[in-house]
């Protein structure tokens, strides 16, 4: 059987880009159970409440929802269990140094399969204030209106 290649996105956390200023991103592997992989291959997961923390110098992904595999038996996994992230030691040290600073956190941005291996894109992020969110939404709305006006002019309306 040929090995699956390319990128298959399972879940994205669009709310993270709205709620946080993304400073730096990393690609991490995941330690998963067999039923979790099968559930992910069906495209079922949610990163909305997810975050990552350090325990014993290891990075762990928490509160990410991977529902139980429908055809699983007693070997099924818990939907919101803690999952270990796999990164190089230098990357872990860099993330640890940055998150020790006040206001920084680690949020998952995307969960995907890359060359048949489950990966998660995590980001070091700083929370946005409400006025930052309003400003960003206003900017997007202004850009959309400007594009709409330019298209209307180009059509000769």
Q: Does residue 136 fall inside a structural domain?
A: no
β-strand partners of 104: 126
> 103 is in which domain, residue-wise?
7-128
**46 in a domain, yes or no?**
yes
pLDDT at 1: 46
User: Does 49 reside within a domain?
Assistant: yes
Domain membership flag for residue 12: yes
Examine residue 140 and state whether it is found in any structural domain, yes or no: no
* Structure tokens, 70: 């429908």
CA distance 35 to 51: 22
Contact assessment for residue 34 and residue 90, using Cβ atoms and an 8 Å cutoff: no
Q: What is the CATH number of the domain that holds 17?
A: 2.40.280.10
d(CA 111, CA 92): 19
User: Is 78 among the domain residues?
Assistant: yes
Number of domains the chain is built from: 1
Q: Is residue 145 part of a domain?
A: no
Q: What's the N-to-C CA distance of the chain in angstroms?
A: 56
Half-sphere exposure of 21 (CA within 13 A, CB side): 12
Most confident of the following: 4-18, 24-38, 128-142: 24-38
pLDDT in tens, 75-117: 777 777 899 999 999 999 999 999 998 889 999 999 999 998 9
Domain contains 41: yes
- Mean pLDDT, residues 46-66: 91
Helix residue spans in 20-114 (DSSP H) = 34-41, 89-100
């Amino acid at each position: 059987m040929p090995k699956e290649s390319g990128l298959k996105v399972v879940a994205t956390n669009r709310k993270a880009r709205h709620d946080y200023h993304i400073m730096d991103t990393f690609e991490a592997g995941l330690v998963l159970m067999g039923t979790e992989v099968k559930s992910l291959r069906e495209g079922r997961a949610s990163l909305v409440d997810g975050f990552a923390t350090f325990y014993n110098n290891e990075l762990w992904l928490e509160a990410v929802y991977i529902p139980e595999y429908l055809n699983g038996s007693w070997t099924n996994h818990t939907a919101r269990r803690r999952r270990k992230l796999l990164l190089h030691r230098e990357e872990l040290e860099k993330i640890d140094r940055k998150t020790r600073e006040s206001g920084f956190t680690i949020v998952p941005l995307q969960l995907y399969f890359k060359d048949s291996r489950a990966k998660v894109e995590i980001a070091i992020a700083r929370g946005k204030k409400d006025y930052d969110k309003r400003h960003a939404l206003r900017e997007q709305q202004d850009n959309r209106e400007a594009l709409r006006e330019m298209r209307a002019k180009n059509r000769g309306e």
